[in-house]
Structure 1
Amino acid sequence: PALVRQKGCGLREELSAIVPYLEEMKKRKVERWNQILDVIGKIKKISSEIRPADFVPFKAPVDQSDLSCRRLEELRMELQSLEKEKSERLKQVMDYLNTLHSLCKVLAVDFKQTISDVHPSLDEDGVPMNISNTTIERLALAIQRLRETKIERMQKLQDLSSTMLELWNLMDTPIEEQQSFQNITCNIAASEPEITEANALSIDVMNFVEAEVLRLEQLKVSKMKDLVLKKQTELEEHRRRAHLVGDEHYATQFNIEAIEAGAIDPSLLLEQIEAYIATVKEDAFSRKDILERVERWLNACEEEAWLEDYSKDDNRYNAGRGAHIMLKRAEKARVLVNKIPGETPLLIAVFCLLF
């Protein structure tokens, strides 16, 4: 309130009347200054948490030349803005930490070590978290790096799982042997956000599946080698029946050692043998008539040789056990042998036409 000088009052009385007002003003000044200092202290504290280390919140020293309500309100508005920014940054940091925790869990990566590498305050109890731009940027980079690792491992594991399923089906692997991989193969078509199980993409899991695929591939090579050998025997039998000679170089194409050394795909080799067998069958079918004649002729020649040995046996007419059977065979052999002279010129003529 304005002070009005009273008539008839001396200076002493006036001074006595003014002093209480001065004391009140001094008290209010101190209170206002303390309020401003409190707000400035909070501004500095929050600024140090969310700003870089070299950030100076006040370009000029704060003095007592302006202790108005307007100045206090400006500082409070600045503090409110910083508190809002701090709250938003804290929320962002917590979201990043939760994302990092999920990624570390799936990849079996040490979460505490990961956030400590970003900033030690993120893993220290009782210490305010550093929520500066640098910390937030490092958190974002850590998330990007782990997510890229997650996607890379996921794609590799899905490829391995597909190969594993194909090999299981190829070799009729029992269901019991597949059970231990069920939690892995169930993610064969999953997207990156859908894989959240702990250790689902750990190094141990990757090695576990790789070892199984390697085992199955080695087993496949072994079985395919056996199958190739079986098909080679079948091919030789078809060639023998077709009386194919003079084309032995084909065998060098079917090298088992090349399969064992991994120089040739056994599936490809098997296809080549199958194609060769088909060619031999077609060739044999086209010469079916002559081959049947050759078979009869060879059979007759064998019977002729037997008949000669039989004729030299002085005991052939003894009435021993089985003698009558031998006599019947000898009769049939003579019939076949008698046909040889007639068949031989025909066979020679056909061979001349064919070869």
Structure 2
Amino acid sequence: MWMKCTAYVRCLGWIFVKTVKEVHPSLHGTNSENSTNISDSTLEGLTQTILKLKAEKKTRVLKLQEIVEKLHKLWNLMESTEQERRHFAKVASVLGSAEEEITSPGILSLETIQETEEEVERLTKQKASRMKELVLKKRLELEDICRNVHMEPDMSTAPEKIIALIDSGLVDPCELLSSIEMQIAKANEESLTRKDIMERVDKWLSACDEETWLGEYNQDDNRYSAGRGAHLNLKRAEKARILVQKIPIMIDNLITKTFAWEDERKVPFLYDGVSCRANLLYLSEIRLARSIPYRK
């Protein structure tokens, strides 16, 4: 019983002597003349004190856990560094701890709870000033993902709309941030489904570049001169001719892959906002309708 009382008092940051003296002055005498009173009434008083301490601990644990939960959300939202979090590391541990596991001296003191509340208030004020920056940063992340796979980002969170909504106060910036994060997750998921086609598109575009270069090379009357690099261009031209011959097959394979992708997802495969399939079909028809001569 005595040890329980001591543990509760230390955890709550209370003064032990003062606490037990409220039960009976003799429980923590300061000189040898005082004898410890262990009457039934004293034991009953000590039992009631322990129950009071236990109830107080439970109340403070719930309160601190609620505060720490807000603190964690703010840390994640503000992308706080480990150094910024370090001061509250011990307090933050209460969030995932059972009540009986929370025993550190003073961790449930009113001073600790107040200090944690003040940190939450401080970060909340910072959040208001930084939310626009965070939301725009996430939007740029979304645009980068879409740009890399030639997708059009969702225009509902276009930068100019975001700024207008935040400045108007009509929308909670946290909701905007959550919306953009969902768009990022969706874009990442879709980019994986587009990977095979995009790799084939890159190879096809590279072949088209070589085709253009080869056309210019064939028009150069000095291509066989003994000038510097002539032999390198000749080798490149040989490789380009082989690659250009594969372009029709590349287009056919791309059309097949694109058809399959669209049939599976019931949406058109867009490349920078334009139907990839329509473009490929058009180019395929153009290539069939004409023949480009290449001279050695």
TM-score (norm 2): 0.46
Higher RCO (Cα < 8 Å, 6 or more apart): 2
Q: Which has the larger radius of gyration?
A: 1
